Amino acid sequence: METNTSPLILDGRTLSKTIREELSEQVASWMAGGGKQPHLAAILVGDDGASQTYVSSKVKGCEQTGMKSSLFRFPAETSEQEILDKIDALNNDHDIDGFIVQLPLPKHIDELKVTLAIDPAKDVDGFHPENAGRIQLGLPAFVSATPMGIMTMLERYQIETSGKHCVVIGRSNIVGTPMSILLSRNTNPGNCTVTLCHSRTPDIAAVCREADIIVAALGKPRFVTADMVKEGAVVVDVGITRVPADNDKGYVIAGDVDYDQVAPKCSAITPVPGGVGVMTVTSLLMNTFQAAQRKSF
Ligand code: GUN
């Protein structure tokens, strides 16, 4: 069988740089026309290392694009009510256009309760049921940042999706499920026949071998191996897991795809790091600018 040894690398860093430059110009011209400076707030509870890194990159992204950011940090033992009170304050703060509560939250805080408390018009993460439901109906809404980043990558790299069979692995509310909906809609990118695999799917490898496009979003390092991938497939890796390693940091970042083995079989693939992760932050910035321009849908 012929092997494709040089896949197209779907480079999230380069694409993000381009999009953030475009966004800075749009923000500058919005403000020159009298628009207020877009303002993103983030609530971070506890001291999880990965969450701190993600939130710092969101704050940095705001600086890069001329937007304002405010970070509200709370210790891990903060009560659920204190977080709900902060959300209420941000919902009513007219200077804040959009805000996020970084997940995961400590066990004693109910993530669903927190998500439901966020004003859908400021829910730039797109996690509120109103935004999730609107996406399902094809109505304007905040699309959750990771699926939006993947759709943007497919669009900007002109990956043909129409009529393709896409296998999404993982059914999370914030990635797998919205991804399956977005790719099946009558849009470009979209128009895929989608199979959503999860922990009860009997033979995921066999399903994956039928895929033209694989979106791996299950959070298991190097789960997708070369034998699961059809020659010429497009592979999108959403995984970002810290795997213990004997280096200065004590860990390496691993994706859900065994990149070195899988890449030679692909027509296109996203690397980890430098693929989907950075696009997630870029999408959040795009949503924040959208929130600043349009107070409600
Ligand atoms: N935790 C992991 N991904 C995300 C995300 O996109 N938004 C928030 N708020 N928390 C996360």
Q: Superfamily for 145-276? A: NAD(P)-binding Rossmann-like Domain (3.40.50.720)
Give the residue-averaged pLDDT of 55-78.
Answer: 98
| CATH number of this structure's domain 34-120 | 3.40.50.10860
**What is the distance in A from the centroid of ligand 1 to the CA of 103?**
5
Delimit the domains of the chain by residue range: 34-120, 145-276
The mean pLDDT value of the chain amounts to 96
34-120 and 145-276 share one fold: yes
The predicted pLDDT at position 295 comes to 55
> What pLDDT digit, counting tens, does each position of 207-233 carry?
999 999 999 999 999 999 999 999 999
| Joined tokens for residue 210 | 């039928």
Ligand 1: lining residues by beta carbon, under 6 Å? 100-103, 125, 145-146, 280
> What pLDDT digit, counting tens, does each position of 111-128 carry?
999 999 999 999 999 999
**What is the distance in A from the centroid of ligand 1 to the CA of 55?**
9
Q: How far apart are CA 145 and CA 279, in angstroms?
A: 8
Specify whether 125 is catalytic: yes
**Percentage of the chain lying above the pLDDT 90 cut:** 97
Q: How far apart are CA 139 and CA 41, in angstroms?
A: 25
**What is the distance in A from the centroid of ligand 1 to the CA of 232?**
31
Residue from 97, 123, 125, 237 carrying the catalytic annotation: 125
105, HSE (Cβ side, Cα atoms, 13 Å) = 20
- Taking the whole predicted model, whether its pTM rises above 0.85 is answered as yes
Specify whether 230 is catalytic: no
First vs last Cα of the chain: how many Å apart? Answer: 51
